[in-house]
Amino acid sequence: MQAESLGFIFLNAAIINNFVLALFLGICPFLGVSGKLKTATSMGIATALVMFISSLCAYAINLILLHFDLEFLRLIAYIAVIASAVQLVEMSMKKFSPTLFRALGIFLPLITTNCAILGLALFQTFRDYDFLQSVAYSTGAGAGFLLAIVLMAGLREKLELSDVPSISRGAAMSLMLAGILSLSFMGFAGLGGH
C-alpha cells in the first residue's frame, strides 16, 4: 500500500501519533522518571532499545503462531517473550558492556511492564506490518518516546524553581504539562497528508 511508506510509518509513530502524547502508552515512566533530564534521557534510550528488540521478537513469534493457527495464545506469548528478551538484554549488557549497564541497567526491569512495549507489539500485529515496516515502526516509536520524555523532563526541571500553588505540585502539574505538550504535538497531525 503506497500510503504506508517506511518514512511515513517512522514519522507517524514518532511524531504524529506519538506513543505517549497521542496514544497514551507508557504514561507511568513518562510521569515517574521525568524529574531529571539525565535520568529521563537514559530511560528514553533504554526504552527505545527494548522497543526495538521486543518488536523483532514479536514479529518472529507472530509468524510462528500464525503458522500453527495459534492466534489465541498471542497475548500470553508476547508478554512472556518480551519479559524474557528484556532479561536477556540485561544479562548480556552486564557481561559485555558494564558501563552501559550502569547507565541503563536499573531501568530495564521497569520497562517490561511498560504498556508502550506490549502496545507496540500489538499495534504492529494489528496493522499487518511486514518486517521492514515493523522495524520502521519500532524505531519511530522509540524515538517518539525518547523525544517526549526528554521534553517533559526539560519542562519539569524549569518548573522546579518556579512558585506554583502547593496543591498543584507533583502529579497534577505534570499532567497539565503533558496536556500542553500533547496539544502542541497535535500540530504535527496532517504531516505527510499532502
Q: Which residues bind to other proteins, rule: CB under 8 A?
A: 1-4, 8, 12, 16-17, 21-28, 31, 72-73, 75-76, 79-80, 83, 109, 113-115, 117-119, 122-123, 126, 166-168, 170-173, 175-176, 178-180, 182-183, 186, 189-190, 192-194
Rounded Cα–Cα distance for residues 92 and 160 (Å): 37
Distance of closest approach, residue 40 Cβ to other proteins, in angstroms: 17
Distance of closest approach, residue 13 Cβ to other proteins, in angstroms: 10
Cα dihedral value 92, 96, 102, 107, nearest 10: -20
Q: Max CA-CA distance within the chain?
A: 60
Rounded Cα–Cα distance for residues 111 and 114 (Å): 5
Identity of the residue, 53 or 173, whose beta carbon is nearer to other proteins in the bound complex = 173
Distance of closest approach, residue 103 Cβ to other proteins, in angstroms: 19
Distance of closest approach, residue 61 Cβ to other proteins, in angstroms: 13
Identity of the residue, 96 or 193, whose beta carbon is nearer to other proteins in the bound complex = 193
- State the cell numbers at 147: 523525544
Helix (H) or strand (E) holding 12: none
Rounded Cα–Cα distance for residues 65 and 61 (Å): 6
